[in-house]
Amino acid sequence: MPAVLAEVLTTIDRLWPLEGAESWDAPGLVTGDPDATIARVLFAVDAVRGTVDEAIDARADLLIAHHPLLLRGVTTIAEDRYKGALLARLIRSGCALVAAHTNADVVERGTSAVLADRLGLLDLRPIVPGADPARGLGRVGRLAEPTTLGRLARLLAEILPPTATGVRVAGGYDDHVEIVALCGGAGDSLLSDPAVLAADVYITADLRHHPASEAREQALVGGGPALIDVSHWASEWLWLDAAAAEMRAAHPTLDVQVSELRTDPWDFQVVQ
């Protein structure tokens, strides 16, 4: 039995409350009629040509993307721009689009929590707790068995879906690691957070030269974590399965699928 989009939106707001989103964010319904009937849902990290095609080819009625297609002000959705083209295609095909972004990062089963869970971290707490101390950005926890930085990076490479850029590490291969801080997606804003500085390693994505270099130099002076930089897409893709399971539990009659399409923008890397 299908559901009505408005009912699914109510579930989305229960699982990933919009009030938990960062002030700059734009989660929620991007396009779609709340009265529309929903039978099939596809989860993806990004609403891009590949995942929109996949949703429409699969006759999905709703695409739930982690990243908002529309984040900043727009003055046109003309179809000679890719966002306009995607929106027009979704609307003509009767497929709604919802973004669940930072509101899905902060919850107990959010992007960072799922990654932490896959690494087997214990005593999890947010790096930046919110009003509800169980919720917030990033996670810090303890490995059940201490390991080395190299082994942890190899474990990450096994857990994450393959990408061209793989797993990059700043620190010694044999460095001892037990306390792990992590933030799915771009987490350089947390580099100087006390919980990150107190960890043995900080795992995040999109680390650029200057933030990474400055963090490592400061670690030489005042202590600080090794760094592991992974694919932004890969670090958040793991969340999709958990999100889909929560959606199935709420709406057992819906057909809920997860896109396996790699929407990481990098296609290959030449190793020197």
Name the nearest CA neighbour of 152 among 119, 116, 107, 188.
119
Tell me which stretch binds Zn ion (CB under 5 A): 135-143, 181-189, 217-225, 260-268: 181-189
Number of residues that bind Zn ion (CB under 5 A): 2
From CA 224, how far away is CA 222, in angstroms rounded? Answer: 7
Cα angle 250, 254, 256; round to 5 = 90
Give CB contacts under 8 A, 24+ apart, made by 121-126. 121/180, 125/195
Give me 226's structure tokens: 């090794």
From CA 220, how far away is CA 145, in angstroms rounded? Answer: 26
Q: Which of residues 221-260 bind Zn ion (CB under 5 A)?
A: 236
Smaller CB separation from Zn ion, 193 or 236: 236
Query: Which phi-psi region, left, alpha or beta, contains residue 45 (left: φ > 0; alpha: ψ -120 to 50)?
Result: alpha
Smallest gap from residue 23 Cβ to Zn ion (A): 17
Smaller CB separation from Zn ion, 200 or 236: 236
Smallest gap from residue 185 Cβ to Zn ion (A): 3
Smaller CB separation from Zn ion, 100 or 215: 100
Point out the residue whose Cβ comes nearest to Zn ion: 185
Smallest gap from residue 235 Cβ to Zn ion (A): 8
Name the nearest CA neighbour of 234 among 150, 129, 164, 147.
164
Smaller CB separation from Zn ion, 28 or 150: 28
Helix, coil or strand: residue 100: coil
Tell me which stretch binds Zn ion (CB under 5 A): 87-95, 182-190, 245-253, 263-271: 182-190
Do 130 and 103 form a contact (C-beta atoms < 8 A)? no
- Does 110 interact with Zn ion (rule: CB under 5 A)? no
Smallest gap from residue 36 Cβ to Zn ion (A): 27
Smallest gap from residue 184 Cβ to Zn ion (A): 7
Smaller CB separation from Zn ion, 147 or 231: 231
Smallest gap from residue 49 Cβ to Zn ion (A): 18
- Does 185 interact with Zn ion (rule: CB under 5 A)? yes
From CA 91, how far away is CA 69, in angstroms rounded? Answer: 14
Tell me which stretch binds Zn ion (CB under 5 A): 6-14, 31-39, 184-192, 212-220: 184-192
Smaller CB separation from Zn ion, 99 or 227: 99
Smallest gap from residue 163 Cβ to Zn ion (A): 14
Smaller CB separation from Zn ion, 171 or 185: 185
Smallest gap from residue 78 Cβ to Zn ion (A): 26
- How is residue 190 annotated by DSSP? G
What b/e string do you get for 70-102 counting C-beta neighbours within 10 Å, with b at 16 or more?
A: eeeeeeeeeeeeebeebbebbeeeebbbbbbbb
Smaller CB separation from Zn ion, 110 or 225: 110
Name the nearest CA neighbour of 36 among 66, 62, 64.
62
**Residue ranges binding Zn ion (CB under 5 A):** 185, 236
